[in-house]
Every structure is written in C-alpha cells, then in structure tokens.
Structure 1
Amino acid sequence: MTQQAEPDAMPADDKHDAAPGETPRAPKRVTHADGFGAAFCASMAALCAEAAIGGTAALLVMLSRDHDSLPSGIVVVAGLVVAVALLAVLVSGFVTAVTVMPVLALARRVARRAGRAERWWWTLAAVPLVAAAAVVVFGGVAALGSLSLAPPPAYLLWWGALTVGLSPASLVAGAASRRVRDGRPVRMARRVVRDGLLAWLAVGALGAGAYGTGLVKVYEPPRLEKADLVGVWSDGHGGEVELTSTGTAVAKGLDNYVWDGMGHAQPKDCDGSGKWVPVKREGSVEGVSLTIGSCELARTWSVGGTGKEPRISHEVGKPGSGKHYTLAKVVAHKK
C-alpha cells in the first residue's frame, strides 16, 4: 500500500517561505551595497567639473594668444555650449567605466591582499598603474590605425596627463564608495557639482577681471601693409618663400600639402616662381594669396603673430583639424 506524505512532513524552510496554498519560493538573496552606483556618479561629476574648469581656463589663455577666430552669434555659441556639455557627460561616463572603476577595483584588491583597510592612498597609488595600462591599450590601437608609433615623449605626456586628470575623480569616487559600504549618507556627487560650480565661477570671474581691467589683452592680429609682407618667409626647416615688391613669389623647398590615397595631407617640396597678392579687409591686410604654378600650389595664408614677429599660416588637413603650416618672416640683422 502506498504511503502518503502528510502536510506536516514538509521541510521547515518551505513552510516558512511559502504561505498556505502557495508554491514554495526560493530564499531571498540579500544584496550588500558595494557603492558602485555612488562611485560612478561621483566620478562623472568630478570629471565634468574638471572639464568645465580646465576648458574655461584654456579658453581664457587662448584669448590672449594667436588663435583662429571664435564662433560668434548667441545661437551658435549656445548650441556649441550644449553640444560640448553633452559630449563631456558621455566622455566622463566612458572614462569612468574604463579607468576610474578599474582604479577602485585594483586599490580594493591590493588593500585586501595586504590585509589593510581600504584608504585613499591605495586609490591614489593605483591611478598611475591604470593610466599606464590605458596608454598602452589606446596607444596600441592608435598605432595600428596609423601604422606608426608616436614619439616616446608623447606616450609619457599622455601618461602624466591621465594620472593628473584621473586622480581627483578616483579619490572622490573612492570616498563615495566607502561611505556607502559604511552605511553613511552619500551626497558626494552633489557636493562635487556644487564645489565644481563655485570653482568654475571663480575661474571665470578672475579671467573676466584680468581682461576687463586691461591686465591681459585679447589677441589681435598685427596690422600690416603690403610693404610689410615683402621679404623672405621661412618655416624653420629649410622651406621658404620670397615675396618681392613686384608681386613675384619664389619658393624653395616650401611644403605643399596634398591629399594622398589614404585621405591624409602629405607635404611635398615646392620649388619655383609664381605670384602673390595681399588679401585686405577694411583696408588692413589679413592674409596673403600665394600661387606657385610649377607645383600647383594655390593657397590663402592668414596673417598672425605680432607686428615685430609676423607670421603667415594655413590650415593643414581637414577643416577644423587645428594643424597649421606656419612661416615666420626672416628679419635681417644689422651688422
């Protein structure tokens, strides 16, 4: 005869976890807070604050140096600000994911291996290691893309810049993560936004005060006449062009950038004679139109530098690349 199990014979766990008439459920898993979300948000806030402060400082410095004209118009400027802000948020999230969070993981792991409590100096010590790994990975990808390695000082410069840039964000993220694990209130991201905004306003106020009082002056291109352009202009690497008072131009080893089959602008030596004319605007010379027929060079060069040390240059590569080929006027020294 088959023996039937009585209801009281059910396991104790199932009886406690399931109500009468319900199917037994698996025991609930207890999730321990590790501070990942708080650390991620704090790091993004810190990186955005760094970008805003650093970008404002760079803009203030650029205003006093020779630079391309800045965009004008309220709509254009507002659109540019919004685009840069959105880009900063996206980039800060990416940088946090691939560098800051690995820094925290490495610092926590090393501290546990050493049998010590996790402190800020473990985080700070992990930053240079993760920065070096990032330079190796992304530098390798860039080298494969261009089929050439960058000069060694460039990698060292990137490593130093990453170490300096990641340190504040890593420290803030580590502090936020520890506060969560300790069960303390976390307001790190809001504090970073508040303090970053105050620092940004301070930098902007100092810059506005410096330019407003005349302590620092906004750069203006030199006001030249046609006679000021007559003479020899050199790139400092053996390439030069002589502009004569009759409008004749004679080039010797001048770099002429042409597009190759890979979509890059490569320099080729330009030798020969041609013509030049000044490009004027409102009675002032703002550029030089140079044509050398033998090497198919036809470009308009912008005037820059200062009155004592004038320069002419043109952009190299795609529009907005930021790269320029520059010639400086050779000044004959009196004996």
Structure 2
Amino acid sequence: MGWGDIRRELGRARAAWDSVAVHAAAAVGAAQLPAVGMIWYVDVTTGDDYGGGTIAIGLACLFVLAPLYLPFLGLLHACVQTLPAALLARLTVRRVRGPEWMWHLAWAAALGVLWAGATAVLWGWPFAATAAVLAALGVLPVLGVAYFRRGSRSRARAWGCSGTWIVSAGVSFVLFMVVFGGAVVATETGLVEEYEPPLLSDAQLTGVWRGQDGAVLRLHAGGRAELTELPMVSETDDWLADPVYTVCEGTGTWEPLRRDGDGDGDGTGGGSVGVEEDVDRDGVGLRVDGGCGQPTLWTIGGTERDPELFVLFGDPDAGDLRILTRD
C-alpha cells in the first residue's frame, strides 16, 4: 500500500469522527464520570486517609460544579480514546472481518492500555490497575456511539446534539444512584470494610525503611536509629513554611508508641523520644541526636504484608505526605 492509498483510507476513516460520534462520545464519556467519582470516593474513605482531613466538602463542590466541567472532560476523553479508537476500527474493518463496534471496543481497550503505560512511565501509576480502569472507561462511550449513530439513521429516532446530552444526563444520574445505593448497601452489610492499620510488634518495626528523595530510616533493636535524608517536624512547626519539614540525618532514638487497648485514641506519646501528642494509631516516635528538627511521630499504615510509616507535614487537609516502606 502506497502513501496515496494510505491517505485515501484515512480520508474514508474520518467518517468515524462525524458530528454524531463526537457528541455521543463526549456526552456518554462525561455521563460515566460522576459514578466513577463516587467509586473513587468510597475507595478513598474506606482506605487509609493518612491522617488527612475529610474530602466530603471538596467532593460536594465538585458535584455542584459538575455541569461546568464535565462536558470538557467528556470531550477530552473522547479525543484521546473513543474517537481515535473509532477511526482505527473503521480502518480495521476494511481489512478484517467483524462488526465495527467490536473492533471499536478492542481499540478503545488497547488505547486505554497505551495511556496506562504512559502514566506508569511519567508519574509512576500502577500499570495493571490503571490499564483496567482506562479500558473500562472506554466501554460505555463506544456503546453510546453505536447507539446514537444507529438512531441518527432514522429521522424519527434521531436525538440531535441537545437530545444526546439530555439522554446522557439521565444516564449519568441513573449510574450515579446505582453506584451510590450499592456503596450504601456494601458498607452497611460489611461487604466493604473500614480500613484498619496493621498491628506491628517491636521486632516487625526493626529494619530498614525507605522513602522518596533518598530517605532511609534504620530502626535497631534496643531503640537506636540511623537516618539518611529523613524528613522530621521542623523546629518552628510552621504550616506556611516551605518546606514544612526539616531534612535530618545521623543517629537518634526511637520507641514504639501504642494507642490504648480499646482503640479510642487516648494513648499518649512521650517517653524517651518526647513526642507530645495524642496517639490514635500505633506509630514510631523518633528523636534525632544533635537537635535536628523536633521529635516526630511516624504513624503505622499500609497492610500486614506491606506495612508503611508515614507523616503528614503541615495542613491536615493539604499537607505534604511522606511515606516509608520496609525493605
């Protein structure tokens, strides 16, 4: 196939970007986003919040302002996944057997995997989970394009631009209510359980913990600690400072800090490291020799299999979260 043939094929395939496909892809892509946002909210609120403030107010604002930004997000999703997949499907059916909508689904899933690879390289997102989410987000818009395009062939069934978006709004509301109802049932029945941090013994806490920017914390049996480029609460503990923490290295002392047995958060830090704050979760109190920073509580998070130590520096609603994972 020469360049001229390729240009002719692409010219014919641009029919996949007709006005019906564009409006349908954008409208249906936008329609699924509130339900996706609710799923994300349930996942976040039933997982480890790392000591941060509630996101309910922010989420409520997003829903109130949804009519202003959802169309743009839907169009963006259409331009990077649904419509390119439609063009590739149109090219494919000219060479290979099979209904166009099935090839459209296949290419949408493939582009989702491609974008997941890009996010993994650029931002370190987990590839498998991101690929699954992006592939799933491509299904409903593809089916929506097929539905509205079929309806556009008959004047009696044609929705038009405004009709497409009205139907999309109705579908969005139904999807959101289904997800919301499912989330309520799942939490009330215990199908989705509230997050509980792991309980680690002193022996499990000892070892090497690593974080970003070269941070290393070595906890030795007996209460000695070695640290490299480790963030600690700054001397001023000022939320407006930049950065809101002090980077320390050298040696120090540590001790496990436990909440009281009934888990009501009345446990108190202190002891040899001098962490003076209520302890509502188990953690590690750390003091650096030489007076670098203030004694800092590194709270235990993660899971029994993959434990973490973390500190949220600064504003609890928008602080700087630093996480250490065990070697």
Q: Which TM-score band applies after superposition, normalised by the shorter structure? A: 0.5 to 0.7
- TM-aligned CA distance change 1:290 to 1:167, over 3 Å: same
What TM-score do the two structures reach when normalised by structure 2?
Answer: 0.59
In the alignment, which residue of structure 2 is the partner of 1:19?
A: none
Distance in 1 (CA, whole Å) between partners of 2:52 and 2:31 is: 23
Contact 1:279/1:287 (<8 A) preserved: no
1:42 aligns to 2:38 (yes or no): no
1:276 aligns to 2:273 (yes or no): yes
In structure 2, list runs of 5 or more residues that go unmatched.
1-14, 211-215, 233-241, 254-271
**Structure 2 residue aligned with 1:185, among 155, 158, 174?**
158
In the alignment, which residue of structure 2 is the partner of 1:204?
A: 180
1:240 aligns to 2:218 (yes or no): yes
Contact 2:28/2:144 (<8 A) preserved: yes
In the alignment, which residue of structure 1 is the partner of 2:256?
A: none
In structure 1, list runs of 5 or more residues that go unmatched.
1-32, 329-335
Contact 2:209/2:324 (<8 A) preserved: no
In the alignment, which residue of structure 2 is the partner of 1:120?
A: 101
Q: CA deviation at 1:69?
A: 4.9
Partner SS, residue 172 of structure 1: helix
**Structure 1 residue aligned with 2:287, among 288, 291, 304?**
291
The residue type paired with residue 272 of structure 1 is T
Contact 1:42/1:169 (<8 A) preserved: yes
In the alignment, which residue of structure 1 is the partner of 2:38?
A: 56
In the alignment, which residue of structure 1 is the partner of 2:226?
A: 252
Deviations 1:237-295 (A, max 9, x none): 68433597xxxx6323566159xxxx99xxx99441256233434x8568666331459
Distance in 2 (CA, whole Å) between partners of 1:131 and 1:156 is: 11
Q: CA deviation at 1:101?
A: 1.2
- TM-aligned CA distance change 1:234 to 1:121, over 3 Å: same
- TM-aligned CA distance change 1:168 to 1:66, over 3 Å: same
Q: CA deviation at 1:96?
A: 1.1
Deviations 1:132-186 (A, max 9, x none): 55467x569x65xx9xxx6xx9556544443232122123123323432454423
Distance in 2 (CA, whole Å) between partners of 1:173 and 1:131 is: 17
Distance in 2 (CA, whole Å) between partners of 1:322 and 1:180 is: 51
1:168 aligns to 2:140 (yes or no): yes
Q: CA deviation at 1:56?
A: 1.6
Contact 2:252/2:286 (<8 A) preserved: no
- TM-aligned CA distance change 1:69 to 1:125, over 3 Å: same
Distance in 1 (CA, whole Å) between partners of 2:99 and 2:199 is: 61
Deviations 1:63-91 (A, max 9, x none): 33322356459865533544677555433
Partner SS, residue 240 of structure 1: strand
Distance in 2 (CA, whole Å) between partners of 1:222 and 1:51 is: 33
Partner SS, residue 277 of structure 1: coil
Q: How many residues align?
A: 273
Contact 1:43/1:170 (<8 A) preserved: yes
Q: CA RMSD in A?
A: 5.0
Contact 1:45/1:192 (<8 A) preserved: yes
- TM-aligned CA distance change 1:182 to 1:77, over 3 Å: closer
- TM-aligned CA distance change 1:122 to 1:324, over 3 Å: same
Contact 1:270/1:295 (<8 A) preserved: no
In the alignment, which residue of structure 2 is the partner of 1:301?
A: 297
Partner SS, residue 276 of structure 1: coil
- TM-aligned CA distance change 1:41 to 1:326, over 3 Å: same
Deviations 1:85-108 (A, max 9, x none): 755543322121222111112222
**Structure 2 residue aligned with 1:108, among 60, 68, 90?**
90
The residue type paired with residue 225 of structure 2 is A
Partner SS, residue 273 of structure 2: strand
The residue type paired with residue 301 of structure 1 is L
| Sequence identity (%) | 17
What TM-score do the two structures reach when normalised by structure 1?
Answer: 0.58
Distance in 1 (CA, whole Å) between partners of 2:172 and 2:72 is: 18
Contact 2:197/2:302 (<8 A) preserved: yes
The residue type paired with residue 163 of structure 1 is A
Distance in 2 (CA, whole Å) between partners of 1:295 and 1:162 is: 48
Distance in 2 (CA, whole Å) between partners of 1:163 and 1:219 is: 28
